[in-house]
Chain A
Amino acid sequence: MMDNGKVLDVDNLTVTYMTEKGPLDVVRSVSLQIAPGEIYGLVGESGSGKTTLARAVVRYLPSNGKITGGTVSLSGTDLSTRSQKEIRGIWGSRMTMVHQDPNAAINPSMMIGEQIAEMTRTHMGLSRKESRERALEMLNKVRMPDPESVARRYAHQLSGGMLQRVLIATAMATNPEFIIMDEPTTALDVTTEAVILDLIHELMDEYNTAILFITHNLGVIARICDRIGVLYAGEIMEEGPIHDVFKARLHPYTRGLLGCVPRVDANKKEISLSAIPGYIPRPDELPEGCIFGPRCELVEAACREARPPVVSVGPDHLSACRRHEILRDRSEKADETREETIGDELGHIVLEARNIKKYFPFSGGLGSIWQRRRSELKAVDDISVRMRSSFTMGIVGESGCGKTTLARCIAGLEEATAGEIELEGQLLDYSVNKRPRAILQKIQMVFQNPDASLNPQHPAGDSVARPLILLRNMDRKQVREKVAELFKAVSLPADYIDRLPHELSGGEKQRVAIARAFAADPALMICDEPISSLDVSVQASLMNLLAELQDKSKTSYLFISHDLAAVRHISDWIAVVYLGRLWEIGSAEDVFIPPYHPYTEALLSAIPIPDPDIRQDRIRLKGSVPSSLNIPPGCRFHTRCPRKVGEICETTEPPWQDMADGHRICCHIPLEELKELQGDGLLKTAGLRGNN
């Protein structure tokens, strides 16, 4: 094989799994090249084959997987024909990997420094002393605070963000030519993710490593990658330099994916997301011709007959669509606009939660036996919210900020420690077990994990029928009719009523869960991260569904998510939570324009926006969220606040400052000053993303 100056050269690669039903080609004829110093972003939804592709590249396939066509070469060395033993020699010294889950990749019983050192000893032949120095150097490189002490710690003593840095340090320690990063930031909070992405970006400027960056998040790719490949059902649909692909979008799938991502500058009343109909086909049920055909709006007879050729549509820019010219003319599909159905008059107050507190007693290991004073974990510490009918309140914050606990307290699944929960003027009991039926009927919940939210042994229809029988006293016939109606409302075909959950996809399960919640005809629906475990295209269709159902039913949503763009899309009002307290609350539009709370500012500037041209302020938070056992005095955010004004933040709790329209911020910095500091804010280049 010729050395063409590329570090990684995947040529016409096909990967096959031997299964019960015979061989399945999971990745088909994929070609891609990565140059030194280039970050290549490979984006795909679940089932796209991106993990298989990555594993095939490093020859780490499960025992039933095999490369059945094409070649993979690393700087001219053909990897696809090497024996496992030879690969092991290359692995570690010339190519390495950063995993999604650090806990799976780091040995819990070995000190961090020693792990990195060991890597350099085996693969670079360094001496003990040299390797130890190298480890410290690498920890320094990844901007680890206090590297000397971190080197002597174990995995469980570090936070997720720090572990991810350790993984990067380990991967780079041997100066490899090529690194695979498999969803390295997916498990992290946005603020930490932003920091890690910055780090990768900076390191790449310094080194000449080629990186294959695998993710499902287009925003992440837009932020750090040079090139992008869009993988769909095992084939590359579009590939090219990041700007060209994001701007021209010369494949309907790319266009569809980008249309699914909620925008930070518009909400559900202005636009509805353009979800892609249908599903990714399974490798054993591939359609004839273009594999995207069944879901494509532009499909024509020729598409169904033969697989479209991969054509060059620009310098270095490839598309596997035969109608890409049409796409080029429609420079950007206009977002569908929705008419506003809600008038100006305010609905009645549905929920009024005042000064909710939830403390968990905490016993910290053996020491607590001697300790007299029981410590308390203050998950929610004095939060008040008020919601009107047909209204969506979004609650955002990093993991561990107390947003889910707050929701569970309102639902009664967790008993609040103090505070008042009033529903339509009626004071509620803390515990769901003590609330009367009439109240239960009014509050329902949609949970995060679709796999756990339906009973695996009950047919989907039964799950939806129970609330009807129990809370709405319907007889059998009525129940049957209503279940059918609800399935229709969540756009599930009627024959799904008898299916068991394992026969449904994640998105479908979540639809059943939504139907179940709506079966009670609730006044308030609590959505606890209902979309975060799903693929973007499914997320979009679910958000559209929720918006549609709200129009009809006038139900209020309490929508909890760590995804600011999603919250911005679906909410009328947004509350920002950090360490069990509210810091900013206001209408969705107001919260996204300055002045905003320094914490909100940091969250906003961390959102990965799928637009390589957008210029976000680089506000990064240091460290991680302090433990709720040990809440900092004064302003709880002062340990990480980039705008901290001084002493006063550490000693005095900041006051609430009111603005027009109920927008409130809790900070010592006067509003005018905040506004000045923050300038035009996040959306300064939003004009570039305007419609049409």
Chain B
Amino acid sequence: MAASEQKIQKKKITVSPLKKFFRRLRRYPTTFIGISIVIIFLLIAAFGPLIAPYHYSQQDLLQRLQPPSDEHIFGTDQFGRDIFSRILVGSRDVLLIAGSGTALAVFSGLLLGLFSGYIGGLFDEIVMRIMDVILSIPPLLLAMVILFALGPSRLNVVIVVGFLYIPMVARVVRSVVLELKTRQFVEAARLRGETRLYVLYKEILPNVLPHLAVEASMRFSYSIFLVASLGFLGLGVQPPSPDWGLMVGEARTWFYQAQWVLFFPAGAIATLVVGVGFMSDGLRRMLLPGGVTDDG
């Protein structure tokens, strides 16, 4: 008898991917919140200066340290600048610097992790030991040292963020590659004589990407935090740029008189970090499912 276990074809359920995406979103409200927050901040960064009621550096010494009011909904700072406007405009720096830093880390980490995991041997050993060294130094300390040496500037902050997070990304990528390398589809590729580059690029890389996306989103939230911390320490963007970390740093002095000066920029940082965190959590659940199996 001719084997025909597929005579009865399974009905193919056709649900558009977008619909499926939204249906899944509904199941995870935190993911939805996270994505919304990130989208809102991206819009703010794009259109912030247009909606800002005041120029971010416009001083009004008569209006110093005003609490939130109709004119200044987030209040004013020690120079009488509108905090709301400053936060709107400041979102650009944060997102741009943290975003570029993350991109740098992800790209370099991907390359290092891929080759390190795939080639293995001495190369892997050397790369990974270097990564370990970087990881063994507290990140903020390392960032400070480097920025002291390079001098504070936007570009340097990007470089520092990128550099600091390379080891994390490289490690994740490497471990995924190591696991994929033993899968049988890679062995099948070897059996038909594929080149190593083909195996790496066509067989392994596509399976690394979902992991990479999750890792990248997580790194992004850490980067935002790091950029803010560096700003707070005065090592990031320099005044009078409206950097959130810097704003929090300067507000320390006035905290007892005017809490809002500290509260709003700190709140902005926290909201963004949490939002990105939720988003990355959601990405993980969608891209790297596992554990949710139901045997009939």
Determine whether B188 belongs to the interface, using a CB cutoff of 8 Å to chain A.
yes
Determine whether A52 belongs to the interface, using a CB cutoff of 8 Å to chain B.
yes
Instruction: For A450, give the chain B residue with the smallest CB separation.
Output: B184
Neighbouring A residues of B125 by C-beta, 8 Å: none
CB contacts under 8 Å to B, within A468-482, are: 470-471
Are B184 and A51 in contact, with the CB atoms below 8 A?
no
Determine whether B16 belongs to the interface, using a CB cutoff of 8 Å to chain A.
no
Knowing A51-B295, A455-B203 are in contact, say whether A466-B5 is a contact too (CB < 8 A). Answer: no
Determine whether A672 belongs to the interface, using a CB cutoff of 8 Å to chain B.
no
Q: What are 15 of the A-B contact pairs (CB < 8 Å)?
A: A17-B294, A279-B10, A336-B1, A413-B190, A440-B191, A440-B192, A444-B192, A445-B187, A454-B185, A466-B194, A470-B194, A471-B192, A520-B192, A538-B5, A541-B4
Chain A residues with a Cβ closer than 8 Å to the other chain, count: 69
Interface secondary structure of B, over-half rule: loop
Determine whether A452 belongs to the interface, using a CB cutoff of 8 Å to chain B.
yes
Are B6 and A493 in contact, with the CB atoms below 8 A?
yes
Other than the known A279-B5, A413-B190, A432-B191, what 15 A-B pairs have Cβ atoms closer than 8 Å?
A: A52-B295, A274-B1, A275-B1, A278-B4, A412-B191, A445-B188, A447-B184, A449-B184, A455-B203, A463-B185, A466-B194, A492-B6, A503-B12, A508-B6, A537-B5
Neighbouring B residues of A461 by C-beta, 8 Å: none
Knowing A452-B183, A453-B185, A466-B189 are in contact, say whether A277-B206 is a contact too (CB < 8 A). Answer: no
CB contacts under 8 Å to B, within A144-194, are: none
CB contacts under 8 Å to A, within B58-87, are: none
Selected interface stretch from A41-49, A205-213, A341-349, A661-669: A41-49
Neighbouring B residues of A275 by C-beta, 8 Å: 1, 3-5
Determine whether B9 belongs to the interface, using a CB cutoff of 8 Å to chain A.
yes
Instruction: For A50, give the chain B residue with the smallest CB separation.
Output: B296
Instruction: For B7, give the chain A residue with the smallest CB separation.
Output: A277
Q: Closest CB of chain A to B117's CB: distance in Å?
A: 17
User: Which of A295, A471, A492, A537 is B193 in contact with, Cβ under 8 Å?
Assistant: A471
Most chain B CB within a 10 A radius of its CB, from A285, A411, A433, A541 = A541
Neighbouring B residues of A444 by C-beta, 8 Å: 191-192
Instruction: For B193, give the chain A residue with the smallest CB separation.
Output: A440
Please report the C-alpha to C-alpha distance between residue A46 and residue B294 in the assembled complex, in whole angstroms: 11
Neighbouring B residues of A97 by C-beta, 8 Å: none
Instruction: For A522, give the chain B residue with the smallest CB separation.
Output: B191
Number of contacts between A and B (CB, 8 Å)?
126
Determine whether B129 belongs to the interface, using a CB cutoff of 8 Å to chain A.
no
Determine whether A83 belongs to the interface, using a CB cutoff of 8 Å to chain B.
no
Neighbouring A residues of B133 by C-beta, 8 Å: none
Are B2 and A491 in contact, with the CB atoms below 8 A?
yes
User: Which of A26, A452, A537, A545 is B296 in contact with, Cβ under 8 Å?
Assistant: A26
Knowing A445-B187, A463-B185, A466-B194 are in contact, say whether A545-B3 is a contact too (CB < 8 A). Answer: yes
CB contacts under 8 Å to A, within B1-24, are: 1-12, 23
Determine whether A402 belongs to the interface, using a CB cutoff of 8 Å to chain B.
no
Q: Closest CB of chain B to A246's CB: distance in Å?
A: 22
CB contacts under 8 Å to B, within A433-465, are: 433, 435, 437, 440-441, 443-445, 447-449, 452-458, 463
Neighbouring B residues of A548 by C-beta, 8 Å: 2-3
Please report the C-alpha to C-alpha distance between residue A285 and residue B23 in the assembled complex, in whole angstroms: 21
Determine whether B238 belongs to the interface, using a CB cutoff of 8 Å to chain A.
no
User: Which of B187, B191, B207, B295 is A456 in contact with, Cβ under 8 Å?
Assistant: B207
Q: Closest CB of chain A to B239's CB: distance in Å?
A: 49
Neighbouring B residues of A17 by C-beta, 8 Å: 294
Neighbouring B residues of A336 by C-beta, 8 Å: 1
Instruction: For A275, give the chain B residue with the smallest CB separation.
Output: B3
Determine whether A544 belongs to the interface, using a CB cutoff of 8 Å to chain B.
yes
Neighbouring B residues of A277 by C-beta, 8 Å: 4-5, 7-8
Are B188 and A278 in contact, with the CB atoms below 8 A?
no
Neighbouring A residues of B12 by C-beta, 8 Å: 503
Are B184 and A453 in contact, with the CB atoms below 8 A?
yes
| Chain A positions 481 through 492: 1 when the CB is less than 8 Å from some CB of chain B, otherwise 0 | 000000000011
Determine whether A516 belongs to the interface, using a CB cutoff of 8 Å to chain B.
yes
Are A455 and B192 in contact, with the CB atoms below 8 A?
no
| Chain A positions 249 through 292: 1 when the CB is less than 8 Å from some CB of chain B, otherwise 0 | 00000000000000000000000101111110011010000000
Knowing A278-B7, A471-B192 are in contact, say whether A48-B23 is a contact too (CB < 8 A). Answer: no
The 4 A-B residue pairs whose C-beta atoms are closest, nearest first, are A541-B3, A457-B206, A447-B184, A278-B8
CB contacts under 8 Å to A, within B29-55, are: none
Please report the C-alpha to C-alpha distance between residue A452 and residue B185 in the assembled complex, in whole angstroms: 6
Neighbouring A residues of B185 by C-beta, 8 Å: 452-455, 463
CB contacts under 8 Å to B, within A357-387, are: none
CB contacts under 8 Å to B, within A280-320, are: 282-283, 285, 294-295
Are B192 and A491 in contact, with the CB atoms below 8 A?
no
Please report the C-alpha to C-alpha distance between residue A52 and residue B296 in the assembled complex, in whole angstroms: 6
Neighbouring A residues of B9 by C-beta, 8 Å: 493
Q: Closest CB of chain A to B42's CB: distance in Å?
A: 29
Neighbouring A residues of B206 by C-beta, 8 Å: 455, 457-458
Instruction: For B294, give the chain A residue with the smallest CB separation.
Output: A17
Are B203 and A445 in contact, with the CB atoms below 8 A?
no
Instruction: For B186, give the chain A residue with the smallest CB separation.
Output: A455
Q: Closest CB of chain B to A238's CB: distance in Å?
A: 19
Determine whether A234 belongs to the interface, using a CB cutoff of 8 Å to chain B.
yes
Are B188 and A283 in contact, with the CB atoms below 8 A?
no
Instruction: For A517, give the chain B residue with the smallest CB separation.
Output: B188
Please report the C-alpha to C-alpha distance between residue A457 and residue B9 in the assembled complex, in whole angstroms: 22
CB contacts under 8 Å to B, within A1-36, are: 17, 20, 26
Q: Closest CB of chain A to B268's CB: distance in Å?
A: 36
| Chain A positions 408 through 445: 1 when the CB is less than 8 Å from some CB of chain B, otherwise 0 | 00011100000000000000000011010100110111
User: Which of B1, B11, B203, B295 is A285 in contact with, Cβ under 8 Å?
Assistant: B11
Please report the C-alpha to C-alpha distance between residue A471 and residue B11 in the assembled complex, in whole angstroms: 35
Q: Closest CB of chain B to A444's CB: distance in Å?
A: 6
Q: Closest CB of chain B to A44's CB: distance in Å?
A: 9
Please report the C-alpha to C-alpha distance between residue A304 and residue B20 in the assembled complex, in whole angstroms: 33
Neighbouring A residues of B202 by C-beta, 8 Å: 458
Determine whether A542 belongs to the interface, using a CB cutoff of 8 Å to chain B.
yes
Please report the C-alpha to C-alpha distance between residue A643 and residue B112 in the assembled complex, in whole angstroms: 58
User: Which of B1, B11, B27, B192 is A544 in contact with, Cβ under 8 Å?
Assistant: B1
Determine whether A507 belongs to the interface, using a CB cutoff of 8 Å to chain B.
yes
Most chain B CB within a 10 A radius of its CB, from A62, A275, A457 = A457
Determine whether A598 belongs to the interface, using a CB cutoff of 8 Å to chain B.
no
Instruction: For B182, give the chain A residue with the smallest CB separation.
Output: A452
Are B23 and A20 in contact, with the CB atoms below 8 A?
yes
Neighbouring B residues of A507 by C-beta, 8 Å: 5
Are B191 and A411 in contact, with the CB atoms below 8 A?
yes
Q: Closest CB of chain B to A537's CB: distance in Å?
A: 7
Determine whether A467 belongs to the interface, using a CB cutoff of 8 Å to chain B.
yes
Neighbouring B residues of A51 by C-beta, 8 Å: 295-296
Q: Closest CB of chain B to A411's CB: distance in Å?
A: 6
